[in-house]
Chains A and B, each alone.
Chain A
Amino acid sequence: MNKDPQPPQWATAFLRWYCRPRLLEDLEGDLYEYFVRNVSRKGLRYARLVYWLDVIKFLRPYTIRKIEPLTFLTHFMMIGSYFKTSRRNLVRNKLFSFINVVGLAVSMSVGLLVISIVNDLRSYDDFHEKKDRIFRVLTHHQNDGQAPTDLASSSIRTAQRLAGDVPGVENFTILRNGFSGDAKVGQNTFPLEGTWADQSFFKVFTFPLLAGDPATALQAPYSLVLTEKTAERLFGSTQVLGQTVRFDTLEYQITGIARDIPHLSHIHFDALLSFASADATMGKKQDGFYNWDNVWSNYTYITLSKNGSTAGVQRALNQISKEENKALLHKKVTLSLQPLKDIALGRKLSNNMGPRMEPVTLWILGGLAFVIILSACFNYTNLSVARSLRRSREVGVRKIIGARRSHVLGQFMTEAVLISFLALVFSFGLYLLLRREFLALDPHIPEIFTLDLSVRSVLSFIALAVITGFVAGFLPAVFFSKINALSAMKDASGLRIFKHIGLRRVLIVAQYTLSLVFIATTLVGYSQYKGFLNFDLGFTTENILNIKLNGTDAATLKKELSEIPGVTQIAHSSMVSSLGSMYGFDVKYRPSNASPGDSALVWVNTVDENYLPIHQHKLISGSNFTLRPEKGKESEVIVNQQVLKRFNIGGRDPQKALGHVLSVDGRDLTIIGVMKDFHYGTVENKIEPVMFRYSKSEPWGYLNLQMASTDLESTMAKIESAWKQFDKVHPLKANFYDDQIENAYSQFSMMVKVIGFLAFLAICIASLGLFGMVVFTTETKLKEISIRKVLGASEPGLIYLLCRGFIALLAVAALIALPATYLLFDKVLLTRFAYHQPIGIPEMLAGALIVMLLALVMIGSQTARAARSNPAKVLKSE
């Protein structure tokens, strides 16, 4: 419009902001005059600079606007009026209110869920009295030439060294996980898992005892502290102090009953055993139990003394590691401290205890919720601005009566916040539903979260509503407050609403891009997930039932089971492969006696002679194991092709590799067979060297039953009864291999579900918004349409005219979203998988098509209605 050089806008805005209204106009003019002069004399840049300096120089006491308490007061007095007009507006514009309340409610319910999740994780371990002073000792374990490991566990030696006077440490305690045994109480036997803890356990942590003395309960060897729940299970009562429980041959005395552990605790136990018992049962017998580098199963916690500092303790820990590391060869162990409150929301550590969520995951979740809420806010912004034609008269009147800009701003903000509060009420209802669904999503989720309401979470909910209201209402409020009263009254259609059409277009494109990314991600993710489940692992998992054993030789059970008609074959294995757990041995191979040999980690499964046929592993050369009476005489091994490749055995020729000897665990094992590569780990892992060792029986392993596919139910019932005869203590743990694989990938199915749900929300919100836009645009164009119709325009032509703009926007959104999704999968998500399906282009297009069709139906129906309207009626009303 104006090609003359203009003074810097921001400077003018600043001047307008601070300057007294009385002085403003002529001062602005004066500065402008100087600006024009400077431009012609010294150029634009100089002029702009001087303008800025002048604006700043005029910031003097006599020019600065007085603070007007009256304005604030009027705001306060006007709040009632704002509410009234806002309410009336909401009621009058039902479609507008409906779209916004529904959109915001739906999106905010996701926000509420994320808030609850974050809140839960932040409330972890809040019940400990000394929670701010409790730290866990972390271990950094580094073998020379290997990647270091960060562990949540530490060695017992660490705790022993802390017992010496370390300044700043008030108290420390040591925990050891992994007690498991059959508790005999009178005639009954119960499987019981427990944790060892030393006598200061109750000094560091706040786990109140209902009975027993916390100071001495865990002192003597063979002391046992039960939780209420466990006491009820074992004895049927909690008044059991002083009674004994037998594990094998050892009598444990009950020295305390602890109140049940709060849900949000990273430490969970059914029973505590005094650490002295661990010393008596294991420490005295096992070599290396107290070694400095035995860092795998114990946890050390300290409480800092009131005036102690973490830096001081860290120095002491560094000193300790330095001294202790001197005795280690090719290895270094260092220690650090982790605050108790960082455990649930901390970084990834091996051997971690309790649930943990990485902050990144939370950020992603929060980000997704934010994006969805933002999308709903866009709707509000878009529709408010689109509707501005109707509201501008109101604003005009307000301004003429004497409303300032800030008053109009306040009014529209109030309206937005009111809407978002209304949405909060609905979203809370939705949240309750969503919470139930979320907790049911995966059996692990209820273990981690309670999602109970707390004061903190409710306050956060309200804060969310207020912020959402502000974000949604900001742009419309600014827009309305800028309206010039006179022009609004004179000719409303002359308003610059169409100036903001660019903004509206951008918002619609953003919403649809988002929806498309979500739906494409869902569909592609789902096809990938299906791909994982149906992945060719290199062996069969169909109709195989894996039964977990509990340390008893299962020969009798095996015999019993083999008599069931539905069971065709039974094998033994030490573990179930392809589910993610891995066991390995260092294997040494010497091509000839003279060479020093080469060693590498080889993953292992110990199986019997039936395992390979049942799972249909393909032998490339050699033969299967044959039945051997005893375990001690193990001398054979079957390896996969990767082993040949790794050690270069027999020139990698499967035939020539037979007869070569591998040294495993101090034994020389001859290769009797080479099998085709299969997936020992999950699809995230590359195929690595794997070997099968032979064992006739694996008391802690699994029975693999091959089932006939007919009448699985009665077969299962028979297996169940056979198990009950065999083991009266432990319940049967039997799972079909296919189900186990599905379980191993459950996190992905969960992710697909979550993203799918978000996609659904995003599409709903975007559709609502688009619908609103179409309705309002066609409404404002109704006269134009009628005139065109009178002049002879055809209906399809009119529909095309109205749709054109929206369809172009959708096309732009698709052009952005689809390549973005493809790149997201190609460059980010699928890089962690060593093996995956190609990214399904058809799925992506299908997703886009669904969204497009939905949008087209909406646009089409509304525009068709407008195009069909009777021009006589529309034009008559003027």
Chain B
Amino acid sequence: MKGTNLGEFEELVLLTIAALAAEAYSVAICDELERYTGRSAKLGVVHAVLNRLEEKGLAKSHLGDASATRGGKRKRFYEVTHAGKVALMRAKELREAIWRNIPGFNLEGSI
């Protein structure tokens, strides 16, 4: 299954969804990403990633209620699925495992 692998940007987006909780829709995700990374996150890119995450089963979405602010169009809210949570945890564990194996002196002074 190709869904097991999580790219770096995908991971960021997935984390943001989790962080935003009930307010996770595309524009908010973009803004949040920008805030964290300091880089601009293009809607086009984020939208494509959201779509892919959904395809992989790591996130799921539903349409919210209509509001007048968006020209009457509903928002699509995302949430992390169980599989998504597992993938995130695994990614985190993987990193930590590696971090643990780095000898203390190896990174000292290099920054």
Contact = CB atoms under 8 A, between A and B. Distances in A.
Interface in B23-74: 25-27, 43-44, 47-48, 51, 63, 69-71, 73-74
B27 A33 contact: yes
A834 B91 CA distance: 96
A760 interface: no
A25 interface: yes
A31 B63 CA distance: 16
B76 interface: yes
A60 interface: yes
Contact of A60 (B48, B70, B73): B48
Nearest to B71: A32
A54 interface: yes
A50 to B, nearest CB: 11
Contact of B47 (A28, A32, A33, A58): A58
A26 B25 contact: yes
A26 B43 contact: no
Nearest to A53: B44
B9 to A, nearest CB: 16
B74 A62 contact: no
B85 interface: no
Nearest to A7: B71
Interface in A140-175: none
A30 B47 contact: yes
A31 B43 CA distance: 9
Contacts, number: 44
A27 interface: yes
B51 to A, nearest CB: 6
A29 B74 contact: yes
B48 A29 contact: no
A34 interface: yes
A10 to B, nearest CB: 16
Q: Is the interface of A mostly helix, strand, loop or mixed?
A: helix
Contacts of B27: 30, 33-34
Contacts of B76: 25-26
Interface centre among A29, A30, A57 (most CB of B within 10 A): A29
Given A34-B27, A34-B43, A29 B51 contact: no
A535 to B, nearest CB: 71
A28 B44 contact: no
Contacts of A29: 70-71, 73-75
Given A33-B27, A60-B48, A62-B51, A28 B73 contact: yes
A62 B52 CA distance: 9
B63 A25 contact: yes
Contacts of A26: 25-26, 63, 73-76
A751 to B, nearest CB: 58
B70 to A, nearest CB: 4
Interface in A43-61: 54, 57-58, 60
Given A25-B63, A25-B73, A25-B74, A30 B48 contact: no
A32 B48 contact: no
A30 B74 contact: no
A32 B43 contact: no
Contacts of B47: 27, 30, 58
B74 A54 contact: no
Contacts of B70: 29-30, 32-33
B26 A30 contact: yes
B73 A54 contact: no
A60 B47 CA distance: 11
Interface string A60-85: 10100000000000000000000000
A29 B26 CA distance: 10
A34 B46 CA distance: 14
Nearest to B55: A62
Contact size range, A = 10 to 19
Q: Is the interface of B mostly helix, strand, loop or mixed?
A: helix
A32 B73 CA distance: 9
A58 B43 CA distance: 9
A32 B51 CA distance: 19
Contacts of A60: 48
Contacts of B73: 25-26, 28-29, 32
Contacts of B75: 26, 29
A748 B30 CA distance: 76
Contacts of A23: 51
A30 B25 CA distance: 9
A327 B87 CA distance: 100
Contacts of A62: 48, 51
A57 B71 contact: no
Contact of A57 (B25, B44, B69): B44
B71 A28 contact: yes
Interface in A664-694: none
Contacts of B26: 26, 30
Contacts of B44: 54, 57-58
A726 B26 CA distance: 107
A27 B44 CA distance: 10
Contacts of B69: 33, 36
Contacts of B71: 7, 28-29, 32
A57 B69 CA distance: 24
Contacts of B74: 25-26, 29
Nearest to B70: A29
B72 to A, nearest CB: 8
Contacts of B63: 25-26
A25 B65 CA distance: 12
Nearest to A32: B71
A36 B69 CA distance: 9
A808 B73 CA distance: 43
A650 B48 CA distance: 99
A284 B26 CA distance: 99
B52 to A, nearest CB: 8
A332 B69 CA distance: 80
Contact of B43 (A28, A30, A36): A30
Contacts of A7: 71
B1 to A, nearest CB: 19
A54 B76 CA distance: 18
Nearest to A34: B43
Contacts of A36: 69
A172 B89 CA distance: 93
A49 to B, nearest CB: 16
B10 to A, nearest CB: 15
A25 B69 CA distance: 14
Nearest to B46: A30
Interface string A6-26: 010000000000000001011
B99 to A, nearest CB: 35
A57 B44 CA distance: 7
A29 B73 CA distance: 5
B58 to A, nearest CB: 16
Nearest to A62: B51
B62 to A, nearest CB: 10
A31 B69 CA distance: 12
A356 B10 CA distance: 75
Nearest to A35: B71
A29 B43 CA distance: 12
Contacts of B25: 26
Interface centre among B44, B47, B63, B75 (most CB of A within 10 A): B47
Contacts of B43: 30-31, 34, 54
A27 B27 CA distance: 10
Given A25-B74, A26-B75, A62-B48, 5 more contacts: A25-B73, A26-B26, A30-B43, A31-B43, A36-B69
Interface of B: 25-27, 43-44, 47-48, 51, 63, 69-71, 73-76
15 contacts: A7-B71, A25-B76, A26-B63, A26-B75, A28-B73, A29-B70, A29-B71, A29-B73, A30-B27, A30-B43, A30-B70, A32-B70, A54-B43, A58-B44, A58-B47
Interface of A: 7, 23, 25-34, 36, 54, 57-58, 60, 62
Sorted nearest first, the 10 A-B pairs with minimum C-beta distance are A29-B73, A26-B76, A29-B70, A32-B71, A30-B26, A28-B73, A33-B27, A57-B44, A32-B70, A25-B73
